[in-house]
Amino acid sequence: MHIEARPVETAGGRIDVREAGEGVNVLFVHGLMVNGQVWDPLVRGLRGRCRMVMPDMPLGGHRTPLAPDADCSLEAQAARVREIARGLEGPVVLVGNDTGGAIAQIAVAREPELFARLVLLPSDAFGNCPPRPLLPMRALLAVPGAMRAVAPLLRLGPVQRAVMALVARSRVPVDRIGAMVGELPRDRGVQRDFVKLVRGLRPAVTRAVAGELGRFERPVLIVWSRKDPLFPFGHAERLAACFPDSSVVVAERSRAFVSLDEPDWLAERLAEFIGPVAPAH
């Protein structure tokens, strides 16, 4: 599985980007506490159908911290996604999952002409930002020094498996979980970025952007899990109603991280949706 890597300089710091395949550019935005390796199970099914662009966004699972004064808000992350997209040739399809789905919503609302199509997997939306089961984490990280105290626990296999069970029904090997979590258990710069991000997660942001999603008039595919502890299924239809051209498909055997639970099925749905893409500009 050949995956190329390159750095991209964005406002606040460097983003490490991995790419695989050929064809139309599909920009994947992962979720909280993981990195772009969460998309790796899709590479086999998509590499001959598109160019997968998988940045390690500074959402906790990254390895290269941002500058100490960098803005880590959802708006700033969406601006970084748009910076990466502007550096790609031709039409760009945007895919967002979990916190990355909220970022994708902001990105298409701010610059709708930049993207040819949008895919939203289970994501923060409306009043669910962060998801309700994660509210205690936000409260904990509001305490100075809390992240430094709890970070070593993220190195433990049982803790990693417990966290992953929230977002994936399948049993993910511990070594793969460790790769996806990146430097969060060890690097204080990464921990600083993560704390700043989590403290800024507020439902006011996702509620506000929901009212602006109608600006994106190109096709939208919403792939949602029916029974998910983090993201209510009703939000799939609510999001679909926000866009002029949208459809919903159900991932019956997944939680939030469909790329881990049903990678072959998801690759087929994405390939069907991407199809021949017209220029976005």
Could you read off the pLDDT of 7-56 as tens digits, one per residue?
999 999 999 999 999 999 999 999 999 999 999 999 999 999 999 999 99
Just give the CATH number of 4-274: 3.40.50.1820
Cα 2 → chain centroid:
22
* DSSP string covering 228-252: -SSS-THHHHHHHHHSSSEEEEEET
pLDDT value, residue 16: 98
Q: Evaluate if residue 94 carries a pLDDT over 70.
A: yes
Helices (H), 61-130: 74-86, 99-110
pLDDT above 70 coverage of the chain, percent? 98
Separation between Cα atoms, residue 265 and residue 259, nearest integer Å: 9
Percent of the chain as helix, strand, coil, to the nearest 5? 45, 20, 35
Neighbours of 250 (CB within 10 A): 13
Separation between Cα atoms, residue 248 and residue 218, nearest integer Å: 15
Separation between Cα atoms, residue 142 and residue 268, nearest integer Å: 41
